[in-house]
Amino acid sequence: MPTAPCAACKDTVPRVDFTHPNLRDEVTRHLRSDGVVVVENVLSAAECDATMEHLFDSFHALCPAVTRDPESWQRGNLPSGPPTVGMYHSLVAQFPIVWRIRSDDRVRAVFQHAYSGLRGREITRFVTSCDGINVKPPTAPFHNPDRDWAHVDQTHDIDNISKCIQGQVVLTNTTAAFRCSPKSHTHMQEFLDAERAGGRKVVGDFHLFTRQTLDDIKTRVCDEGGAFQTCVHTNKGSLILWLSSLVHSAKGQDEGAPIDRSDPWSQWRGVVYVCHRPREDVTHEHTEVLEKAFETNRVTPHWGSSLFSLPVRRSTSEDTALLARVSENPKEAYDIEQLRPTRTPRINALLLGEEWPTDTSDPDLAQPPITHDTLVH
């Protein structure tokens, strides 16, 4: 039961198929104009289902209390994260399956098309973030249409609105969705100046807007043919790209949304966040942060230049004892083989910003489709 695109976002969010013969031109055009684009059919539906199985296995390895029963997905059984239920900022970034998505040739190719098109020259060396993920069963809390957390993730160098491209690989068909305001990126300096004029501090690269500024954003983007905080529904296998200068957020699942019994992950939220940046944009200190994240099992924001702080967890049962222990010392999770990533040539390239391995004659560089039985980087 495909979920996308819905009536609300069908005509407001640009889409292009991964196999489009002019993929680079299309992605570039839409990012410049709208600040967002959905690249469809990057992964197959079977690969998405297999990825969700791997993610479930990883969560279960961290905490045996987590099962396929949606009711077992309680905060006390799961890694720590922000207030948004389903998002995780600890213990998840180095899951082998997350690296498999992050280092997928197809995913990287889309980022190369996007940056090369926007900058007008070929960009071949990238570093990645060690970003979090979003996994949530179709249980409360559900989407509340009266609540949103519209924000922007870039407040510096705002004259370069295409500086950073964020992404998410969508793994499930669900009413939950990315949410954004197409075309808002072109006026971001104006919106941030309005926030400052109103007495708001604009510090850091995560900024939530006031109601007054959001009203101004809504008027401006709608007058220019954009949309205000529209959902971005898309079928599993899609890669959504958006500029960090774009107003965006997310919406949860709709209560009572129909479950497709033929789909094992119907209405689950499953997203792997991916943010590749040109190596030329970052310093040696930046790559050292990525090295530390990989070596010590830490999570970074999408910019990849810092680490999220370690949470404080207390064990409430035998099933949560491991989760509490590794929350304080994440590297201990690597003692569990299925949670320990292997530093492959692709991963090495993304940590150091080196050229992408392309020798297809080397069997060690093969990247077959993702299945639940095997996990090859």
Total domains in the fold of the chain:
1
Report the phi/psi class of residue 72: left, alpha or beta, with left for phi > 0 and alpha for psi in -120 to 50. Answer: alpha
Q: Which residues of 110-120 are buried (b: 16+ CB within 10 A; e: fewer)?
A: bbbbbbbbbee
Contacts of 191 by beta carbon, 8 Å cutoff, 6+ apart: 152, 184, 209, 213, 216, 217, 247
* Predicted local distance difference test score (pLDDT) of residue 203: 86
Residue spans of beta strands (DSSP E) within the chain: 15-17, 36-40, 87-88, 126-128, 133-136, 151-152, 165-170, 177-180, 207-208, 230-232, 239-243, 248-251, 269-274, 276-278
**231 found inside a domain:** yes
**35 found inside a domain:** yes
* Predicted local distance difference test score (pLDDT) of residue 7: 79
* Predicted local distance difference test score (pLDDT) of residue 317: 79
Assign 74 to helix, strand or coil: coil
Give the separation between CA 308 and CA 16, rounded to whole angstroms.
Answer: 34
* Predicted local distance difference test score (pLDDT) of residue 2: 53
**1 found inside a domain:** no
**365 found inside a domain:** no
* Predicted local distance difference test score (pLDDT) of residue 135: 98
**What CATH number should be reported for the domain holding residue 291?**
2.60.120.330
- SS (HEC) of 296-323: HCCCCCCCCCCCCCCCCCCCCCHHHHHH
Q: Whole domain around residue 276: which residue ranges?
A: 7-358
**369 found inside a domain:** no
pTM confidence score:
0.96
Whether 272 and 370 have beta carbons less than 8 Å apart is answered as: no
Q: Which residues pair with 249 in a beta bridge?
A: 179
pLDDT tens, per residue, the chain with 377 residues: 556 678 788 889 999 999 999 999 999 999 999 999 999 999 999 999 999 999 999 999 999 999 999 999 998 899 988 878 899 999 999 999 999 999 999 999 999 999 999 999 999 999 999 999 999 999 999 999 989 999 999 999 999 999 999 999 999 999 999 999 999 999 999 999 999 999 999 988 899 999 999 999 999 999 999 999 999 999 999 999 999 999 999 999 999 999 999 999 999 999 999 999 999 999 999 999 999 999 999 999 999 999 999 987 767 778 889 999 999 999 999 999 999 999 999 999 999 999 999 876 677 788 999 999 866 54
**25 found inside a domain:** yes
**232 found inside a domain:** yes
From the list 180, 218, 241, 167, the residue with the least C-alpha distance to 15 is: 241
Q: Which residue matches tokens 């979090």?
A: 132
**320 found inside a domain:** yes
